[in-house]
Amino acid sequence: MCGFVCLWNVGDEDLADRMIRRIAHRGPDAVAVATLPGAPVVMAHARLSIIGPEDGAQPIQVTDDLLVANGEIYNHQDLRAILGPSTFTTASDSEAILRLFRSGGSRWISRLDGMFAFVLATRERIVAARDPLGIKPLYTARIGDGMAFASELKAFDGLPVDSVEAIPPGSLYDTRDGLRRWYRTPQGAAEVEPGLDVEATVRELRLVLEEAVATWMVADVEVGSFLSGGLDSSIVAALAQRVRLGAGRSPLKTFAVGLEGSADLAAARAVAQHIGSEHHEGVFTAQDVARALPRVVYHLESADVDLVRSAIPTLFAARLAREHVKAVLTGEGADELFAGYAYHHDYVEDPRALADELTRSLGTMHHINLQRVDRITMAESLEARTPFLDRDLIDVAQSVPAALKLCRTDPDGAESTGETTEKWVLRKAVTDLLPPDLVWRKKAQFDEGSGTVDALSTALAEVLGVTGPVSRDQEAAVYERLLREQYADPDRVLAAAGTWAAQRVPV
């Protein structure tokens, strides 16, 4: 996990150094600037060493090619075996990107499995790309006749750049061939087809879940797990604990935060006890929230009310986790894959519309929840991993009929006229993994369960110097003011941010 900057046809090493220093929180282990002789390129990299910590420094140069990358390539060992181990000069997973490119395959990028953003340069061209759902960020801008790339918007702040925009998820930009989409989210299935073996579908989902968590734990450092006590993070933590214990390692480290006595702390404590993790708790107050707000807004690169609210507990959880590990697993993506949001209940009578909405919302995650997770954890120099967004798991989840994700059923699967159950098929897949009261409990938002909303009300009243409730408009105005105070070009940042529309529909 890292941050990087690349300048093409600009040729200013001092500028690259200034830009990378603005996002050095993404990689406190090493900062480096490099050029490629004979090519109009400057690259800078801030490293958080996770895989190949001894020799994985970047930028990576192989003869006439130079690379900077952010993220993790989880199948790098397989790629080494295919491409020939002797061709690799480091233990870094990122080197696999460069070696695949140099192999000359027409669809080489599709062989990368993981979360990543990168820019590589030859003497004649730049190639920049992003993982399927945009878990890792990548922005580009014009500087005169040249181009600049960076991991965060703040790298461009105050600079004479034009047309700052994100490279779309699942896309590759080539100065020779232009922009192309190399990955498209598979369309979700809708109705339960006649003859579908539901139990077999549930078993297959469980197997893919287990593989995804094991894959996303690959690292040369210890990987922990956020644990809010909700279904998604509890599934990830329970499976991760099995991976660690199965490999003869010490128990998984789990991390939960909230107000004293909050529902999340109690629920997470119960889950941790059930799975036997080494559990760590952090308690925050309304005063802590007030002090953290400027940092949250600055690093989030957004003033959206719902994003800021959910980013606050993420910040405290990241701070707690970073005291113990350099990487954590999270439950992001389960709601988009398995219909976990409250507004999804509006689609219960129309599985086709629900399947289409889930597919659409997966495509918006990069500038909503994934932006929050990336920016806030990286603000604390912590790598966050999202195993629910494993590519194989996405394929399987999208093949599961939406009618099995949101349906009116009892916990035992019998048809019922009772309440609608969201994420039904996911719950069925983990019935043996967690206590029944957790598996079938209704969802609560992270900011609600942790007590953030209550603490935030008090904090905002203090910031505004008022008594009584603070309206949503007043809250939004506070966040925008905090952002504007910290950026030279705040309109550029605000224009790039995603928002949650009515009923928390991501747009």
Would you please indicate which residues are annotated as catalytic (active-site) residues? 2
Residue 340 vs residues 140, 230, 388, 433: alpha-carbon distances, Å: 33, 11, 13, 19
Task: Specify whether the CB–CB gap between 167 and 137 falls below 8 A.
Answer: no
Task: Specify whether the CB–CB gap between 283 and 261 falls below 8 A.
Answer: no
Best CA proximity match to 311, nearest among 359, 248, 376, 251:
376
Any residues with CB less than 8 A from the CB of 478 and at least 6 apart, and which? 293, 460, 463, 464
Best CA proximity match to 129, nearest among 157, 88, 101:
101
- Given the structure tokens 């809708």, which residue do they identify? 190
Task: Specify whether the CB–CB gap between 92 and 51 falls below 8 A.
Answer: yes
Q: What CA–CA distance (Å, rounded) separates 185 from 71?
A: 20
Number of C-beta neighbours around residue 105 at 10 A: 11
DSSP string, 105-163: -TTGGGG--EEEEEEEE-SS-EEEEE-TT-SS--EEEEETTEEEEESSGGGGTTS--EE
- Alpha-carbon 316 to chain mean position: 17
**Structure tokens that stand for 248 in this block:** 């003869």
**Structure tokens that stand for 460 in this block:** 């905002």
Per DSSP, the three-state class of 490 is helix
Task: Specify whether the CB–CB gap between 241 and 251 falls below 8 A.
Answer: yes
Q: What CA–CA distance (Å, rounded) separates 131 from 120?
A: 15
